[in-house]
């Protein structure tokens, strides 16, 4: 596709449910990032992939958060046993490679945990 695609656009979950958020990066982009943006805040780094390798997961807030990119393309961010504090917009971004590369962001998935 022309840009980074994320689905679903909106997700409502009951507390304790598991959710899976999908990111389709721009074709050929090596690097993929997940960010979390709480209401009224700037995005915060969650994790980074280079191809299928997860090179940095230092931003994942707890072991309930898990991300994968098994074939080096599509990525899934999974949140187990969701909590109210997980409510946020989850942004995915991709870039060609290396530091300083232009990041292309998706429109995000807005997660609301009730």
Separation of alpha carbons 23 and 67, rounded Å: 11
- Between 14 and 40, name the residue whose CB sits nearer to other proteins: 40
The residues that touch other proteins, with contacts defined as CB under 8 A, are 3-4, 31, 33, 35, 40-45, 48, 50, 55-56, 59, 91, 93, 95, 98-108
In the complex, minimum distance from the CB of residue 13 to other proteins, in angstroms, rounded to a whole number: 21
**Cβ partners under 8 Å of residue 63, min gap 6:** none
- Between 14 and 102, name the residue whose CB sits nearer to other proteins: 102
Other residues' Cβ atoms within 10 Å of the Cβ of residue 91: 22
């Amino acid at each position: 596709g022309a840009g980074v695609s994320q689905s679903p656009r909106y997700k409502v979950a009951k507390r304790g449910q598991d959710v899976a958020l999908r990111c389709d990066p721009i074709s050929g982009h090596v690097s993929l990032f997940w960010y979390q943006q709480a209401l009224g805040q700037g995005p915060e780094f969650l994790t980074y992939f280079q191809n299928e390798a997860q090179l940095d997961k230092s931003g994942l807030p707890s072991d309930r958060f898990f991300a994968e990119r098994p074939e080096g393309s599509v990525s899934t961010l999974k949140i187990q046993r969701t909590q109210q504090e997980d409510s946020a917009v989850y942004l995915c971004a991709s870039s060609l490679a290396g530091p300083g590369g232009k990041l292309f962001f998706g429109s995000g998935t807005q997660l609301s945990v009730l």
